[in-house]
């Protein structure tokens, strides 16, 4: 009986997320690059080649219709050309951008520490490209989430996702 109650509660939360996600994504304006410097820095762990010492991103957190809305924009312009979306669904968004010539031989990675228990950010440097990936964690009964926006903003990868509080 307890399992049934937990299942019903989980389905209710997921249905709520499914109901509000389209409304949120349609009503929020597309993100833009902030005028302030990026607020999150990841140290690049070099395996070989010439790599940047770090890579940064903007993290913007807000509320909309009672839900937490998270937006991240990777500051890849200093090290790479224009990004493009290569893979996406409700839990993953992945972009690639060609590295500038001074970093073209870089092989390494930069992985987020626990920025938020619901998501991880990864930068991989390989094959003359930087790959930026946003990976949301699997839904839990009290913490469903979904990516509602993934696009390129001023040549940079941008991802917005929502979580039910």
Question: pTM of the entire structure?
Answer: 0.80
- Note the pLDDT of residue 15: 42
CATH number of the domain where residue 43 is located: 2.60.40
Q: List the Cα angle 20/85/161 in 5-degree steps.
A: 25
Structural domain total, the chain: 1
- Our measurement of the distance from residue 102's CA atom to the centroid of its chain's CA atoms, rounded to an integer in Å, reads 26
d(C-alpha 152, C-alpha 163), whole Å: 22
Q: Which domain holds residue 149?
A: 2-164
Q: Profile the chain (165 residues) by mean pLDDT over runs of 10 residues.
A: 46 42 58 90 96 95 84 96 97 97 97 67 97 90 88 96 79
- The pLDDT value recorded for residue 86 is 98
């Amino acid at each position: 009986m307890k399992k049934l109650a937990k299942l019903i509660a989980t389905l209710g939360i997921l249905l709520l997320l499914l109901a509000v996600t389209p409304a949120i994504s349609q009503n929020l304006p597309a993100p833009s690059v902030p005028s302030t410097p990026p607020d999150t820095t990841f140290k690049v762990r070099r395996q070989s080649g010439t790599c940047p010492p770090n890579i940064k991103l903007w993290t913007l957190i807000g509320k909309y219709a009672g839900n937490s809305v998270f937006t991240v924009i990777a500051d890849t312009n200093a090290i790479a050309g224009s990004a493009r979306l290569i893979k996406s669904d409700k839990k993953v968004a992945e972009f690639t951008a060609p590295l500038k010539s001074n970093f073209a031989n870089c092989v390494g990675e930069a992985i987020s520490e626990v920025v938020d228990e619901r998501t991880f950010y990864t930068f991989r440097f390989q094959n003359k490209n930087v790959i930026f990936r946003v990976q949301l964690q699997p839904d839990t009964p009290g913490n469903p989430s979904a990516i509602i926006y993934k696009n390129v903003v001023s040549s940079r990868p941008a991802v917005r996702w929502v979580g039910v509080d």
